[in-house]
Amino acid sequence: MAATEALERSDAPKSQSPLDEAWHGLRDTLPFMFGSIPFGLLFGTLATGEGLSALQTMAMSLFVFSGSAQFIAVVLLGAGSGIWVVWFATFVLNLRHLLYAATLVDHVRHLSQAWRFPLAAFLTDETFAVMERRYRTQGGGRNAHWYYIASCAGMYANWQTWTFLGITVGQNYPQVQNWGLEFAMVVTFIGIVVPLLTSMPYLAAAVTAGLVAVIANPLPYKLGLMLAALAGIVVGVVLDIRKRGLDAPVSEQQP
């Protein structure tokens, strides 16, 4: 316990109980849970339509737990692609999670391996966005990992629920794409990114990433996403170094 306290940030907020943290983590993940509803329903419907059994479809959500990779796999299977193509696509598509883990690792370094495993295995785009914002606005805190695990658990339970409903009743809701739920995901990401655009390098990184993502969008396996992210990061770092020199601290300023 003493070790944990020593590692706690000096500017950490008043320590909250695990239950409070978990509740806040779940609450802050809710918009993303709503946003994934159409994708879960759609995945369940599509996968069973492409010849996967209900059990296989459910197993994919349970064990792979990666919406984009699951969609690509189903599309590729439908196109008659081989297993290696699916694996390659999964790998390329999810390389960004390496960046997420590298970004958050300072906040989980003090935890036991028993904690770190689930926090790594269940790290999605959405939980990354939620955690990045939490650490930025509120810092760490002794029980922050409860906030993190609750975000993971919320996304996971939600994904399983809607996959299941997609398999069982999905065919009855062919217009689910038109409900506008998926837009909740987009605006939540916007609400997280805009406050980050505090200086020229960050703005340039966003503009670059957005431009490259649009131009490279037709590339297969969503390669454009990775390309765009890397381009944005490189432009950001180069401008940051030109502005503040090579040996400046990691972050310009923290609110």
Partner 1 sequence: MSTAVMILGMALINLVIRWPVYLFANHFRFPPIIERALAFVPVAVLTAIIVPTVLYPGDGTKLDISWNNPALLASLVACAVSYFAKNLFATIGIGVAAFLLLRWLLPV
Contact positions with partner 1 (CB under 8 A) in 206-245: 206, 208-210, 212-214, 217, 224-225, 228-234, 236-237, 240-241
Q: Which candidate, 231, 240, 246, 229, places its Cα nearest to that of 200?
A: 240
Q: Does 54 bind partner 1 (CB under 8 A)?
A: no
* Structure tokens that stand for 82 in this block: 């081989």
- Least Cα distance to 230 among 95, 86, 71, 72 occurs for 95
Nearer to partner 1, 16 or 188 (CB): 188
* Per-residue binding letters, 167-206, with partner 1 (x by CB under 8 A): -------------x--xxxxxxxxxxxxxxx---xx--xx
- Closest CB to partner 1 among 16 and 90? 90
Closest C-alpha among 232, 168, 175, 182 to residue 202: 232
Among candidates 24, 50, 49, 38, which has minimal Cα distance to 158?
38
Using CB under 8 A, which of the segments 4-12, 93-101, 148-156, 166-174 binds partner 1? Answer: 93-101
Question: Looking at 38-46, 82-90, 139-147, 154-162, which segment touches partner 1 (CB under 8 A)?
Answer: 82-90
**DSSP string across 212-236:** HHHHTTTSGGGHHHHHHHHHHHHHH
DSSP string across 19-32 = HHHHHHHHHHHHHH
Task: Using the minimum distance from each CB to partner 1, give the nearer residue, 17 or 250.
Answer: 250
Q: Which residues contact 65 (CB under 8 A, 6 or more apart)?
A: 121, 122, 124, 156, 159
Which is closer to partner 1, CB of 66 or CB of 158? 66
Q: Which is nearer to partner 1, 22 or 72 (CB)?
A: 72
Helix axis angle for 144-169 and 113-121, nearest 10°, is 40
User: Which positions from 14 through 43 interact with partner 1, judged by CB under 8 A?
Assistant: 31
* In contact, 168 and 48? CB cutoff 8 Å: no
Among 60, 149, 155, 167, contact with partner 1 (rule: CB under 8 A):
60
3-state secondary structure of 89: helix
Number of residues lying near partner 1 (CB under 8 A): 87
Cα 177–chain centre separation: 21
Q: Which of residues 140-159 bind partner 1 (CB under 8 A)?
A: none
Provide the 8-state DSSP code for 80.
Answer: T
Residue closer to partner 1 by CB (options 10, 113) is 113
Candidate ranges 7-15, 17-25, 109-117, 145-153; the one touching partner 1 (CB under 8 A): 109-117
The nearest distance, CB 38 to partner 1, in angstroms, is 12
In this complex, which beta carbon is closest to partner 1, that of residue 13 or of residue 183?
A: 183
In the region spanning residues 115 to 144, those forming contacts with partner 1, defined by CB under 8 A, are: 116-117, 119-121, 123, 125, 128-129, 132-133
